[in-house]
Each structure stands twice: as C-alpha cells, then as structure tokens.
Structure 1
Amino acid sequence: MIKNSKQLSLTKKRIEEFSDTIRKLQSEEPTLSPLLAKAQIDALACQRNELIGQVEDYELLLSGDLAVFDVNSISDLPRSLIMSRISMGLTQKDLADRLGMKEQQIQRYENTEYSSASFKTLVSIVEALDLKITPACAG
C-alpha cells in the first residue's frame, strides 16, 4: 500500500523500470528456452501490474471519491486510518501536526500499520481525522 507522495513517485519509477525491462526482453533474441523467457516476462509483468494497482488505489484515495471504510475487525483499523488520511488529502505531516507529533512518528506508525501505537494513540488519531464510527448492523 502506498502511503505518501514519495512512495507514489518511487512506485511509478519502478513501474517504468519493469516496463523497460519487459520491452527489452520482448525485443531481444531469448538466451533462455522460450518457455523460461515467457515465464520471466510474465513474472515481471505480474509485479508491474501489482504496482500499477497500488498506484491506482492511492490515486483513487487522493481523489476523495472514497469516504466510507468498513472496519469489520480491529485488525482492519490501521489500514482504514491510513486510507482515511489519504482520502482526506492529509499528508503524514498534516496528521502529525494535528496530533502534536513529528512527521517521522506517523511514518513509523504507518509503516508498521500502527503495531506499536497504543490504544490511546489510535483513539487520538481517529479523533484527529474526525472519523465517525458506527456499529455494523446485525443481520
């Protein structure tokens, strides 16, 4: 999951590198058996496509078109907090400022999906993002 503009830029660069390598392999005479050459290209394309999906997800969040994030279990909360921050157009620094923290602390929290954050910190982040938590309907 891409969490900031620096990661977005690096991911786009990696996509170009994968694309360039794929084009090069497709245009060269294979030094491997045709089956192995195809497997190599397919593996690179798979990795590239995964990165493209991450870029698309991040850009969709940035557009603000997503406003509701379902949290079906407490383990879903960290990812939803990150997605909420991005969809609100807030940088990690913006969130850190709201919380009176350093940007690097938010980066650490998000890089580990809040595994080291206390419950109190998680509640503070929910409040800083002004998120509304509603109970799921029992069906």
Structure 2
Amino acid sequence: MIKTETAYRRANEKLKDHKAYIANEKLRLESMGLSKDQISHAVQPLLAFKGELEQDIQHYEMIKQGIFLPIETIMEVGKNLIAHRIYMNLSQAELAKRLGVSEAQVSRDERNEYEGATTEKIQSVMNALGLKTTIHIETAAV
C-alpha cells in the first residue's frame, strides 16, 4: 500500500522503468530466437510485478479522490485509517501531533497497518482523524 506522495512518485517512476525493462527483456529474448510463447512465459513474473504496482498506484489515486474500498474484515481497519489520513492530505507528522506521539510511532503503526493495535489506539486514531464507525456483523455462510 502506498502511504505517502513521495512513495507514490517513486512507484510511478518504478513503473515507468519496469515497463522499459520488460520491453527490453522481450527484445533480448526475441534476439535469442525464443518463440512468442517462450517469451511470454519468461516475462510472466515481470508482468505480474507490473500489475501489482499498477494496482497499488490505482488504489492510492482512488484514495486521493475519496473512493474507499469496503472493509470486509476487521484486519482491514488499519488500511482504511491510513487511506483516510491520505485522503485528508494529513502527513504522518501532523497525525502524530494530533495524537501526542512521535512521528516515528505513527510511521511504525502505519508500516504494520495497525496490526496488533489495541482498540483504544484505533479509536484514538479515528478521533484524531474525525472518523466514526458503524459495525455490522453478519453470520458468515459456511
């Protein structure tokens, strides 16, 4: 998950470089006499990485527009908190100030996507971001 503008710019540069690398790799493999199927098979991992990077970039762009994916499990709450901070154009340093903690603490929490955070910490972050939540629990189909 891309969490900062700097990381977003780096991801776009990496994507641009990776596309060029894939094109060059295809030409190199072609010059070795490999068939189109062999080339396709050989570059499949490169294309998979490119696809993941494109998805990360698209997700960040959606967040910046205020488009949030629904939370389907409690484990996704942390990603959603980060997404809302990004959408609000609030830096980790600004969030840290609101929380009364160090920027390093916010950075660690976000790096781990708030995994293992207490409900009190989650609620504090939500309060600092001006968020509220409604939880709807359903019986899962077995």
The code of the aligned residue for 2:101 comes to M
Match in the other structure for 1:15: 15
Question: Separation in 2 of the partners of 1:122 and 1:7?
Answer: 24
8 A contact 2:75–2:115 mirrored in 1: no
1: distance between equivalents of 2:56 and 2:33?
31
Displacement of 1:15: 0.6
Equivalent in the alignment of 1:59? 61
Mapped to 2, the partners of 1:94 and 1:69 lie a distance apart of: 24
Match of 1:33 in 2: 34
CA distance in 2, matches of 1:53, 1:111: 18
Instruction: Tell whether the 8 Å contact from 1:30 to 1:37 is kept in structure 2 after alignment.
Output: no
CA distance change for structure 1 residues 24 and 105 in 2, over 3 Å: closer, same or farther? same
How far, CA to CA, are the matches of 2:138 and 2:23 in structure 1? 52
| 2:42 aligned counterpart, secondary structure | helix
- Given that residues 8 and 57 in structure 2 are in contact (C-alpha distance below 8 angstroms), is that contact kept between their aligned partners in structure 1? yes
Aligned match of 1:104: 104
Provide the TM-score with structure 1 as the length reference: 0.82
Q: For residues 30 and 98 of structure 1, what CA distance do their matches in structure 2 show? A: 58
In the alignment, structure 1 segments of 5+ residues that lack a partner are: none
Note the alpha carbon deviations across 1:3-49, whole angstroms, 9 max, x for none. 11222122112212211111212333343733432222232122112
- The residue aligned with 1:44 is 46
Match of 1:115 in 2: 115
- Name the % identity: 27
Alignment-mate amino acid for residue 61 of structure 2: E
How far apart in 2 are the matches of 1:76 and 1:120? 16
Give TM-score scaled by structure 2 length: 0.81
Assess, with a 3 A threshold, how the Cα gap between structure 1 residues 71 and 19 changes in structure 2: closer, same or farther: closer
